[in-house]
């Protein structure tokens, strides 16, 4: 008993010291995080903001009030840009879907032609597409093919490749290998393996991903005009250049309407197909 008691007391004291040490470390982390957050807020908000230009609370309130004076007279002029935005989203999604198929084939480890050459290429293309923002893609294509809807379509397509191909490749890697092995056992070629053994298993995932990506591309297409790629974004840029706050609000409402329509269509399309 005389030996066990000191050991028990020592173990309890060590546990208490450990809890105190953890509590102290948590407090230090909390204080350090609060200090870092306060420094970031001061450096990026308080220091870099031109408070005099805002004109105080009355100036900010007056500017915001202008946005509520919606310029409804521009509504007939929004029909064509809205349709152009919807067209860019649809065509860009279709083109991105077509281009993502070989990328997904290269990037799926269990079906890639060569895991040392084509697999890294496929994964690199996925990362490249997702890493570059659609505005950057639009700027590149505007410089290459000029102004209009075409650079917007190409930008949306390039941005869609990474998402669609990554989801598709991961779905291919997670398929049940038994149908594939059965087709190969009876002498099926690579196309038959892909068409009869792989596609039926991943088709619901592909269709759901494409519909979801189209829904996202409506939002992307709405801002393509800011860099000259047409659609509602170009109309928005013109209203901002003329300081027509009511026109800006009307364009924002049109974008919200398009996004809402796309959300409804994608919802029912997923329920009908999947």
pLDDT tens profile 53-101: 665 555 667 677 777 788 788 888 888 888 888 888 899 999 999 999 8
Above 70 in pLDDT, residue 273?
A: no
Model confidence at 11, pLDDT cuts 50, 70, 90, reads low
What is the DSSP track for 18-47?
A: HHHHHHHHHHHHHHHHHHHHHHHHIIIIIT
Question: For the segment 222-256, what is each residue's pLDDT rounded down to a tens digit?
Answer: 777 777 777 788 888 888 888 888 888 888 888 88
Q: What pLDDT score does 274 carry?
A: 62
Extract the tokens encoding 141. 């294509």
Task: Indicate yes or no: pTM above 0.85.
Answer: no
Q: What pLDDT score does 79 carry?
A: 86
Q: Tell me how crowded residue 147 is: count the other CB atoms within 10 A of its CB.
A: 14
Looking at residues 120-129, what average pLDDT do you find?
91
Average pLDDT for the chain: 82
Above 60 in pLDDT, residue 8?
A: no
The CATH homologous superfamily of the domain defined by 72-273: MetI-like (1.10.3720.10)
Domain extent listing, the chain: 4-49, 72-273
Spatial separation of the C-alpha atoms in residues 92 and 231, rounded to whole Å = 13
Q: Tell me how crowded residue 82 is: count the other CB atoms within 10 A of its CB.
A: 20
Spatial separation of the C-alpha atoms in residues 143 and 155, rounded to whole Å = 12
Query: Where is average pLDDT lowest: 51-60, 127-136, 147-156, 164-173?
Result: 51-60
Model confidence at 12, pLDDT cuts 50, 70, 90, reads low
Model confidence at 7, pLDDT cuts 50, 70, 90, reads very low
Q: What pLDDT score does 2 carry?
A: 46
- Compute CA distances 218 → 62, 114, 265, whole Å: 32, 36, 12
Please enumerate in sequence order all residues whose Cβ is within 8 A of that of 29, keeping only pairs 6 or more positions apart, or say none.
none
Contact 230, 148 (CB under 8 A): yes
Question: For the segment 199-210, what is each residue's pLDDT rounded down to a tens digit?
Answer: 888 888 888 888
Instruction: Give burial (CB, 10 Å; 0-12/13-18/19+) of 241.
Output: exposed
Mark out the alpha helices in 108-148 (DSSP H runs): 118-131, 134-145
> 197 φ, ψ to 5°?
-100, -30
């Amino acid at each position: 008993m005389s030996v066990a008691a000191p050991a028990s007391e020592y173990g309890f004291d060590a546990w208490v010291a450990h809890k105190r040490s953890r509590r102290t470390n948590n407090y230090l982390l909390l204080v350090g995080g609060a200090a870092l957050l306060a420094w970031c807020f001061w450096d990026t908000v308080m220091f870099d903001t031109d408070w005099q230009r805002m004109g105080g609370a009355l100036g900010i309130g007056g500017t915001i009030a202008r946005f509520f004076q919606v310029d409804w007279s521009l509504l007939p002029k929004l029909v064509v840009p809205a349709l152009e935005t919807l067209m860019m989203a649809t065509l860009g999604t279709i083109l991105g879907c077509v281009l993502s198929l070989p990328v997904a084939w290269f990037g799926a480890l269990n079906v890639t032609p060569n895991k040392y050459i084509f697999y890294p290429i496929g994964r690199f293309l996925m990362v490249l597409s997702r890493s570059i923002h659609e505005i950057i893609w639009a700027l590149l294509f505007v410089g290459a093919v000029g102004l209009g809807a075409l650079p917007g379509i190409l930008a949306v397509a390039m941005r869609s490749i990474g998402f669609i191909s990554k989801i598709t490749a991961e779905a291919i890697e997670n398929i049940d290998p038994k149908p594939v092995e059965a087709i190969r056992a009876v002498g099926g070629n690579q196309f038959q393996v892909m068409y009869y053994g792989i596609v039926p298993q991943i088709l619901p995932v592909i269709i759901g991903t494409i519909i979801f990506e189209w829904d996202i591309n409506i939002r992307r297409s709405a801002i393509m005009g800011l860099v000259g790629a047409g659609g509602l974004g170009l109309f928005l840029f013109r209203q901002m250049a003329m300081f027509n706050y009511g026109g800006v609000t009307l364009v924002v409402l049109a974008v919200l309407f398009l996004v809402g329509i796309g959300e409804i269509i994608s919802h029912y399309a997923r329920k009908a197909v999947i």
